[in-house]
Structure 1
Amino acid sequence: MKNSVFSQKIYSFLLDTYRWYLQTPERSLHQAYDAALKIKEIEDKHFNGNKIDIDSAMYSNSVMDYFESDLKKLLKTVRMRLTELKASRWFLNEENQKAAQKVGIEHPSPSLVLEKLNFIDQVTSKYTTISDQTTSKALVVIPPNLPVEPVISDGNSLIVNPPTLPPKIPIKDSDNKSKVKRKADTVGVLPRSILSTISRLQVELDPNSEQDVIQTFRQTQRRTIISIRFILLLIIIPLLTHQIAKAFVLGPIIDRFRNTEEIQIFLNSEMEEEALVQLQRFEEKLKFENLIIKAPPLLPEQIETEMKKRANELAEEFRSESSNAIKNVFADMFSVVAFIWLLVVSKSSIAVLKDFFDHIVYGLSDSAKAFIIILFTDIFVGFHSPHGWEVLLEGVSRHWGLPASRDFIFLFIATFPVILDTIFKYWIFRYLNRISPSAVATYRNMNE
């Protein structure tokens, strides 16, 4: 009897799983259509039926960040569900469709499917397929070996249609500017300086140039704000996680298990040796003070009482230091998890931050680049860097309650800076020499 009931449950579970598998195309299309409806609802309700413009002056920055976050999530849902729809339709054949009819699953009519897909395409064709572009509005670089749908320009960015959507948007004349020119095509009759001067005059005489400058400034300002805010989050969130976890989560637990007398006071021999040195200095201090004030010598019982009192204070102090080292180990793990989580959920902010640093680095002069390179190389791989590495490693060892092994520190200093210096020289030779040869020449002249 029990076997038959168990067999019926297994059969029911497999039937439900197979039914869910057969309903995948309809479910994916419905979820993508529902996300497109939500985007359309935001457009009609807050932007008068127009595209959700991140740089719009209708709302404050906080409100636009809220709309931007919703738009990213909805566009990601549409993209993932359409990909799921395409994959599921490729796997489902006529036999699966017949099986779906037998179990009572009715698929929507082709006209209804095409109508929903057309609506989804009309809504999402206004936006880029890469969600990061909603914040930075930069040029979408397409690898030449990938098939791409036609491109349309909205004045600020180049929008690439999703390859999963059937309707295609015709190409405009402005798209020809995005094609990569050959070297032979770049040679003109007039010098480039004259052509660039003429182009600059055309821009200055253009009545819309002021709006373009304001738009560019707003984009740059927004990129800077997002980058600085993300950098602060990368610093503040791990530190707050470390302190909160140490004070409210790990602290009570570790203190509870270490408040017994059986727990060892010292984590390593280095702590014990330090405590003995302090106790010996305290005894010598007592004798020295007694000789200075010319008082009667202390009795052995008095010295023993003072020494015992000081030993108890040192024991309590080093017990607290040992507990603090154990808390630091686990709190650092929490901080690393928080840092990795922040990187995973902030891919768009990482792209904006990368663009922000690119603009800063490429905006520096050659002498400034050479100065920064020499500064960092001298700090980490220069002649005086071993002392800094030694202090850093000793601090980390003390932070985690580990004994500072001199052999390990000297071995690390003898290998790691050398490897780092080799990697840095290879980077200069391979990449910097190709990107900015003048900066490399300035670096070599300053380094000599």
Structure 2
Amino acid sequence: MSNSIVKFQKGSLGARFLNVLKSSNQWLHKTPERALEQAYKAALAIKTIEDQHFGGQKVSEDAPQYTPSVLECFIKDVEKHLNTIKFKLNEFKLTRNLDHSGDIEFIEKLKFIDEIVDKYQSHSVSPDQSLSSNTYQFESVKRSNNGKPTNPSGLSPLDFVEVEASGEVLNGKKSGALPRSIGRTFKKIQTELDDSSEERLMNSYRASRKKTKSAVNFVLMLVLIPLLSQQLSKNFIFFPLVEHYRQTHEVPLFLNPEMKEEALHELKSYEEELQLTSLLYKTPTIEREEIEKKMEEKAEEIYQQFNHKSSEAISNLFADFVGLVAFALVIILNPQGLTALKSLLNTVMYDLSDSAKAFIIILITDIFVGFHSPHGWEVLLEGLSSHLGIAANRSFIFLFIATFPVILDTIMKYWIFRYLSRISPSAVATLRNMNE
């Protein structure tokens, strides 16, 4: 009878496993249909926005009936749906072979999706992208999350004609019988004769200026907000609380042995100074009682000094944490500013000459990973230890200096090899010549 019970339990467990396997198999085979349906719904959402708010036309910044804030919301929604379509179409293509039903009803949905996507698809090439990359874009330039143009090279819409035609091979197509420069020239003339080219150029300039202001404001916020948060929280919250706690509780005066040694050295130096003053200026010999009285006064002064220093070090620990939180919140809550800052840095980087790029790279590497950098790192680490009231550990400092600059140097060399050599090969050659 026990054997039958065991057999029944095994059969029950096996049945459950088969049911789970069967349901998983069904879910996997329905993945193409599910992905396509989600992409189709995203395309329908874009179509709904176009029909209800833009008269069936493409969602664009040029719509005069809405304010910039409203347009920003519409553009963000469309970008979100376009990203969903892109992801789900890739999922559909990868899992299409799993569907053996032979159903071809998806063709109409794919046609509708392509019609929607083609309105926002462009093949403009930016300096930090490969020539064959296709990105969804609004108007003629790539846009960021806030719906404003982010053109890392700083080119105007008139310049995109020349950028799109540059190169002997574009999107895998070789140049024709006629030189491409002739086509570029005619396209540039045609663009300049267009009545709306001046307006588009001014709009691009205004957007670029607005983005630059946004980047500068973001940098100021990134510096001032954490700094003010650290100072205000330290002086008005943490330092008074720490001072009150140290006065009402028995706590050690010195946070580490180095502070104690510093206090003893200062007290001993004061006693020797009294004796030296008496000998140099031939003043009457100071009585022992008077010396002890002055030493007690100096000891009280040292006590107040190091008590304040210890309270300040403890307050720095909490205030610095508040500053780091404020720094992280500025980055998290202002993604548009971070995007504008990246675009500004890219623009500055691309606008610099090759020799200037090489000079900046050499300056940065020599400061942080160069021959004299260990002394700088040692000063920084000792200053940080004193700021937080921690005893400087020489072994840790030497270990840090022996490893961290090496890691930075490796990352910098990889960046030069992986990215800078692709973006600006001449800058790499200039850098190599300057190092030699």
Choose from 389, 400, 403 the match for 2:377: 389
The offset of 1:69, in angstroms, is 7.3
2:227 alignment partner in structure 1 = 239
- For residue 296 of structure 1, what is the amino acid of its counterpart? P
- Distance of 1:323 and 1:433 partners within structure 2: 51
Is 1:251 the counterpart of 2:251? The answer is: no
2:425 alignment partner in structure 1 = 437
CA contact (8 A) 2:226 2:327 kept: yes
CA contact (8 A) 1:432 1:440 kept: yes
Is 1:341 the counterpart of 2:325? The answer is: no
Alignment of 1:9-408 (within 5 A): 53=61, 75=77, 154=139, 184-260=172-248, 262-408=250-396
1:343/1:365 CA distance change after superposition, 3 Å? same
CA contact (8 A) 1:366 1:439 kept: yes
The offset of 1:278, in angstroms, is 0.8
- Distance of 1:260 and 1:157 partners within structure 2: 62
CA contact (8 A) 1:366 1:442 kept: yes
- For residue 263 of structure 1, what is the amino acid of its counterpart? V
Unaligned runs of 5+ in 1: 1-32, 44-49, 84-123, 130-137, 160-176
The offset of 1:153, in angstroms, is 5.9
- Distance of 1:267 and 1:254 partners within structure 2: 13
CA contact (8 A) 1:55 1:218 kept: no
TM-score between the two structures when normalised by the length of structure 2: 0.65
1:51/1:183 CA distance change after superposition, 3 Å? closer
Is 1:426 the counterpart of 2:414? The answer is: yes
1:411/1:155 CA distance change after superposition, 3 Å? closer
2:147 alignment partner in structure 1 = none
- For residue 343 of structure 1, what is the amino acid of its counterpart? I
1:312-359 Cα deviation digits (max 9, x unpaired): 101110010011010111111111111112222222222222222111
1:119-176 Cα deviation digits (max 9, x unpaired): xxxxx99x989xxxxxxxx99x99x999x9xx796566689xxxxxxxxxxxxxxxxx
1:280/1:67 CA distance change after superposition, 3 Å? farther
- Distance of 1:158 and 1:233 partners within structure 2: 23
- For residue 330 of structure 2, what is the amino acid of its counterpart? L
SS of 2:285's equivalent?
coil
- Distance of 1:158 and 1:245 partners within structure 2: 39
The offset of 1:53, in angstroms, is 4.6
1:334/1:153 CA distance change after superposition, 3 Å? closer
The offset of 1:197, in angstroms, is 3.3
CA contact (8 A) 1:397 1:403 kept: yes
- Distance of 1:246 and 1:423 partners within structure 2: 36
The offset of 1:260, in angstroms, is 3.8
- For residue 211 of structure 2, what is the amino acid of its counterpart? R
CA contact (8 A) 1:268 1:401 kept: yes
- Distance of 1:183 and 1:223 partners within structure 2: 30
1:299/1:157 CA distance change after superposition, 3 Å? closer
- For residue 426 of structure 1, what is the amino acid of its counterpart? Y
- Distance of 1:194 and 1:51 partners within structure 2: 34
1:357-392 Cα deviation digits (max 9, x unpaired): 111111111111111110100000001111110111
- Distance of 1:224 and 1:426 partners within structure 2: 30
- Distance of 1:349 and 1:359 partners within structure 2: 15
- Distance of 1:248 and 1:52 partners within structure 2: 49
CA contact (8 A) 1:54 1:68 kept: no
1:8-58 Cα deviation digits (max 9, x unpaired): xxxxxxxxxxxxxxxxxxxxxxxxx9xx99xx89x9xxxxxx9895998x9
TM-score between the two structures when normalised by the length of structure 1: 0.63
Choose from 392, 396, 415 the match for 2:403: 415
- For residue 290 of structure 1, what is the amino acid of its counterpart? S
